[in-house]
Amino acid sequence: MVATDGWMLAAADASLSLLLLVVHSAPAPNYGSLFLSLASNDTAALHLRALTLHPHVAGTRANSLTAAYVRDAFSSLSIPAHITPYSVLLSYPVERSLSLAVPGRATTTSFALSQETYPNDPYASATAEVMPTFYAYAASGSVSAEAVYANYGREEDFAYLASRGVDVAGKVAVARYGRIHCEDIVHNARVAGAAAAVVYTDPLQYGGAPGEAWFPDSRWLPPTGVQVGSLFRGVGDPTTPMWASSEGCERVSVEEAMDTDDMPGIPALPVSARDAAEIHAALGGDAAPADWQGREGSPVYRLGPGPAILNLTYTGNDTMATIENVFAVIEGAEEPDRYVILGNHRDAWTFGASDPNSGTAAMIELAQRLSVLQKQGWRPRRTIIFCSWDAEEYGLTGSTEWVEENREMLSSRAVAYLNVDVSVVGPVQDPDNSSQTVYDSWVKSNISPLDQAIPYIIRYTMTSCGWRNSEIQGSVGTLQRHFRITAASIWGMMALRLADEEILPFNYMSYPVELEAYTKVVENEVGGTAISCSPLHNAIRALKTAATKVNGERKELQRQLSSNQLKKDSMKIRSLNDRLMQAERAFTNREGLFKQEWFKHLVYGPSEQNDWESASYPGVENAIASARKENTTESWKFVQHEIHRVARAITQASVVLAGSLT
């Protein structure tokens, strides 16, 4: 059985550029070397096996057992651990059906909506436990209507259909994964007037070349493979928007929660490439454009509408359920009120062997190494917190609720957040080439470290990053073993440096360079308008000056430390660290992003058009997208307003870094 799920942004915010120094620099002496020498694939493999014996969707008993397992694993290492539960709105399938009828055709095709196992699948006996393929929070209902092909389901795809005179209203939109995530596809379909949506994994993106093998013989999705997911476009518990789902808290009703614009509002189903091929073969109308077509050998994709008629029924159970976050804490010795947070989600739509439990196994293996260091006398300068999040797949639910419940503490105390969900699906030492580091491998492969370590942007700012090893080739089992321990090594070394070094290893010098690149993109997008990016350029120059100043201060304090001219508990160090830590928070705005108010970081955040992507200057991007649609004086004036908002945030960061009042 194979199911894939797209990634979403995780719980924390900020800019990876600060953390590149952490990966790049030499490891801490003694304990860092000992940490690397303790790498054990056997340990991680045992944890991964235990966590993936059964499917464990959030809110189920099976996932509760994984929470207990993770808690007990930490406790067995003498690291205090506990579970924090929340009651949240989750969604499960009750009834699903999909059939295809064609006028003049005697028979109706009923789709099985099931994924086939492969020969000798060691998990075949557990497939009966897998939840039927579905979309969380899809509206319940039945629709019988002509099908319309909508390519990737983007706004521009539906606009193209309208320009061709293809009416989507009241139809079933058929779209494929590949550019945006399922919740955005279904949302766009609803906005275009569709009565229901069907989303599939096209072999063009997920099947390899014609004739290529699929899983388990390669990385490609089998013909009956289905990508499931959540259609909720918000984050956290839908019944407690913008506040924590604590015991006895205020809640909106389930009906009110399901009636918001963040919910899909129409029935929808995910289907396989095999089922979609039958639908495509039955569609008529004009041939779709060349870039809407499938891979070689696929039927010609036509736009419709009809004559194919899809009969879709979905009944869901949208219900309150208990989720469980797991936490383990190694208290800091000198600065226990400063937190270095390591996180990974635990819930999965099926078994979760890659996403997320390869990351969970790596996190436990990392903790085991740190427990050995503790026995050798090590204790971190700052507190390290391990977090195993629940219900991430539904909409970052567990992490969001915890952040909302602890927002003031995190705002003042969190140093950094490091997240790993996937540690074994792709390419310390490179396990493929012992003569070079992982960083060197990225550079030689023309892979930007900024792509490998994706910024995670959320409400209450702290410096953060997350990554997934990707593009794996070759023997999956062998490479998984190497990369799982490599991920734990990189993750752990970053945590050790953040937790142990007297001066936080944050380097703001790269920030102005990145911001200038983002600003040039904005200038290209607003070319030919009266919009000015001068406020951004001016603010970035000030940030560069402040970053140069604070970098010099850090080097001088490091010189004084190394020559014993300065004590490790000096208030000068604490003051500098506070500025380095708080500067990132200055990029936030309490009003949040335009159209995405929950997210507060104005430089990095999720794309409003595509949850699969992070965006630079997301509020500006959203304003430009609106202005292009409306094309009014006021809408373009609002773009200028958003540019000024970002410029003010950058200026505030400069003031914090400089450490003096204006």
| Cα–Cα distance for residue pair 189/589, rounded to 1 Å | 32
Q: 183 near 393, Cβ under 8 Å?
A: no
Maximum distance among all Cα pairs of the chain, rounded to whole angstroms: 90
Q: 574 near 334, Cβ under 8 Å?
A: no
Phi-psi region of 610 (alpha: psi -120 to 50; beta: other; left: phi over 0): beta
Residue (of 371, 260, 430, 364) closest to 49 by Cα position: 364
Q: For residue 11, count CB atoms less than 10 angstroms from its CB and return exposed for 0-12, middle for 13-18, buried for 19 or more.
A: buried
Residue (of 477, 423, 431, 478) closest to 453 by Cα position: 423
Residue 148 is inside which H or E element, if any? strand 141-149
Length of the chain: 662
Phi-psi region of 330 (alpha: psi -120 to 50; beta: other; left: phi over 0): beta
CA angle 653, 656, 662 (to 5 degrees): 105
| C-alpha 119: how far from chain center | 33
Other Cβ atoms less than 10 A from the Cβ of 465: the count is 27
Q: Residues with catalytic annotation?
A: 392
Residue 398 is inside which H or E element, if any? helix 397-405
Partnered with residue 145 across adjacent β-strands are 310
Buried b (16+ CB within 10 A) or exposed e, 287-309: ebeeebbbeeebeebbbbbbbbb
